[in-house]
Structure 1
Amino acid sequence: MPRSQRNDNFIDKSFTVMADLILKVLPTNRRAKEAFAYYRDGMSAQADGEYAEALENYEEALTLEDDPNDKAFILYNMALVFASNGDHAKALDFYGQALDLNSKMPQALNNMAVIHHHLGSIAEESGDADEADRCFDQAADFWGKAIRLAPNNYIEAQNWLKTSGRGSVDVYF
């Protein structure tokens, strides 16, 4: 039984009903509708912490989806799952794939920066100053790009860039 038919929570059921109605009236092909159904089920599974199920649904949605922008969001959500599971390398790879399809995703850039900053903090705690600097520089680069796309977002990142000396003055608005 599809996840969309198993949701017990009112909000999930409401979302599913609305999504199904939209799917029925949208002038799009069957393949795109199927892709969206798998994507929707993936998001629902992800919200419930069912990451393996979410990834299965996202993978199926990817095989059906033709639109590069929609594929980018599927890949982005897959990256979120990998990041949640602590698989930073896979998360960075999937964020990169999402950005290859849609370079206007500041949220992917921000998440990549967060991962690099986290890895830099781990390296710093273990005494590897060179690796920490490399990771922090990568974080700064990704945050700089995210802030250029969304200047009113990521205030904490902007503050970190300023206080760490890794940000350039022209980044801030």
Structure 2
Amino acid sequence: MPRSQRNDNFVDQTFTVIADTILKLFPASQKEKEAFAYYRDGMSAQGDGEYAEALSNYEEALKLEENSYDRSYIYYNMGLIHASNGDHDKALEFYEQAIDLNPRMPQALNNVAVIYHHKGENAQDEEQAEEYFNIAADHWVRAIRLAPNNYIEAQNWLKTTGRADINLFF
């Protein structure tokens, strides 16, 4: 049974009814509607912590979804799951795919930066740490340019480490 048919709380039921109504009225092909249904079920499963089910739904959505903007959010959510499971390398793959399709996705840029910053903090040698920190800085600068009121901690880190002139963002 699709997840959208087994939501048991009021908010989920309401969301499902509204989403289904919009989906029926929205001028989209059957394939696009199926892709959205898989995406919606993936988001619901992800919200419930059912990551294997979410990934399965996202994979099905990717088979059907042709719009690169919509695909970028599927990849982004898949990256979130892998990051939350501690598989940072796999998460990076999905975040980078999302960014390739949608370079104006600051949350994906931020998440890539966070992972590289973490890698820099845990690097075995200073040269490798600097390389990771520079990659993090590049991604944070891009994210901050897209969303200047977000990522305040990253802005402070960029400023205190001398990796960016924060005044350039404002």
User: CA deviation digits over 1:110-140, x for unaligned, max 9?
Assistant: 01001111111122xxx52222211111111
- Decide which of 160, 163, 167 is 1:163's aligned counterpart: 160
In 2, Cα distance between the equivalents of 1:116 and 1:169? 20
For 1:29, give the aligned amino acid.
Answer: S
State the Cα distance separating 1:38 from its structure 2 match: 0.2
For 2:163, give the aligned amino acid.
Answer: R
In 2, Cα distance between the equivalents of 1:54 and 1:118? 26
Find runs of 4+ consecutive structure 1 residues off by over 6 angstroms.
none
TM-score (norm 1): 0.94
Which deviates more, 5-14 or 61-70?
A: 5-14
Question: Does the CA-based 8 Å contact 2:113-2:137 persist in structure 1?
Answer: yes
Q: Does 1:135 align with 2:132?
A: yes
Q: Does 1:55 align with 2:55?
A: yes
State the Cα distance separating 1:171 from its structure 2 match: 3.4
In 2, Cα distance between the equivalents of 1:25 and 1:149? 33
Question: Does the CA-based 8 Å contact 1:144-1:171 persist in structure 2?
Answer: no
Report the identity percentage: 67
Give the unaligned 5+ runs of structure 2: none
User: CA deviation digits over 1:1-23, x for unaligned, max 9?
Assistant: 00111112221111111111111
State the Cα distance separating 1:60 from its structure 2 match: 0.2
RMSD: 1.1
Which deviates more, 144-153 or 42-51?
A: 144-153
For 2:158, give the aligned amino acid.
Answer: L
For 1:165, give the aligned amino acid.
Answer: G
State the Cα distance separating 1:37 from its structure 2 match: 0.2
TM-score (norm 2): 0.96
Question: Where do residues 5-154 of structure 1 align in structure 2 (5 Å cutoff)?
Answer: 5-123=5-123, 127-154=124-151
Give the unaligned 5+ runs of structure 1: none
Question: Does the CA-based 8 Å contact 1:158-1:172 persist in structure 2?
Answer: no
